[in-house]
A = this chain, B = another copy of it.
Amino acid sequence: MNLFRRFKQGNLPLGRIEAFSDGIFSVAATLLVLDLKEISLPENPTAANLWHALVLQLPKFLSWLISFIIVAKFWLNHHHVLRLAKNADYGMVWLNSIFLMFQSLVPFPTALMGEHPNNPLAVGLFGVVMAFNTLLFMLLYSYILRNLLDPEMAGAEDPHVISKSFIGPLSYLVGAGVAWINPDFSFVVYLITPLFFITPVHRKQNCSPSNH
């Protein structure tokens, strides 16, 4: 098909793709702070009033922390994956842009979860969005591995990296499901999930000889 072939064209250098991506990662991560500033206080709050309001905000702080860690984790893995590519084609640019679109969405489910920490839909939606983000990232990852892999980097990659990555969306969806039983558990699941990919996944296997 013609459209399919068009996406295989391009041969773009990676510099501006990284710049656009880093812009969206950093703006999305920094916009998260805007939620924290929406704090309801009486007219001339005493220290006790403010302390009380800050304690009530704890779920917002936790949502902020979880989301920042997740965005930072995606950024690190994105950094890793783009280094595997020797260049970009239009297909990769669009898989990347669609991934970034949902990365820029992160402040929305974060705000919902932080403001309504006992609402199972608000808390569950966060997990669904993060699962979807992870799937989009895996799509970008596998596209690069199959189409754009720099031969020099090929040896370092675990061939099973994509199938192993399914643990990520699965775990987020478990967190989303648990929200209907006890949303507090979801927060724990969401906090633990990014730790699976706290460093790019393939390195552990690849470097296993030197790790023993």
Q: CA A207 – CA B8 in complex, angstroms?
A: 11
Q: Is A12 an interface residue (CB 8 A)?
A: yes
What is the minimal beta-carbon distance from A104 to any residue of chain B, in angstroms?
Answer: 4
The number of chain A residues touching the other chain, given as a range, is 35 or more
Q: CA A82 – CA B200 in complex, angstroms?
A: 22
Question: Which residues on the B side are within 8 Å of A93 (C-beta)?
Answer: 76
Contact with B along A1-42 (1 / 0, CB 8 A): 010011101101001111110111111111111111101010
- B199:A36 contact, CB within 8 angstroms: no
- B108:A33 contact, CB within 8 angstroms: yes
Interchain CB contact (< 8 A) of A199 among B17, B90, B112, B121: B90
Q: Is A166 an interface residue (CB 8 A)?
A: no
Question: Which residues on the B side are within 8 Å of A35 (C-beta)?
Answer: 37
Q: Is A46 an interface residue (CB 8 A)?
A: yes
Q: Is A163 an interface residue (CB 8 A)?
A: no
What is the minimal beta-carbon distance from A94 to any residue of chain B, in angstroms?
Answer: 7
Q: CA A111 – CA B9 in complex, angstroms?
A: 34
- B29:A26 contact, CB within 8 angstroms: no
Known contacts A94-B198, A116-B50, A119-B46; A32/B211 CB under 8 A:
no
Q: Is A203 an interface residue (CB 8 A)?
A: yes
Supply 12 further A-B pairs (C-beta < 8 A) apart from A28-B30, A64-B105.
A5-B211, A22-B26, A26-B27, A27-B27, A28-B33, A29-B104, A30-B31, A33-B107, A37-B111, A47-B122, A65-B101, A76-B97
Ordered by A's residue number, 5 sampled pairs between the chains whose C-beta atoms are within 8 Å are A2-B204, A18-B19, A19-B19, A29-B101, A30-B104
For the complex of A and B, 9 pairs with smallest distance between CB atoms: A23-B26, A47-B121, A72-B97, A27-B30, A19-B22, A90-B199, A30-B104, A36-B108, A68-B101
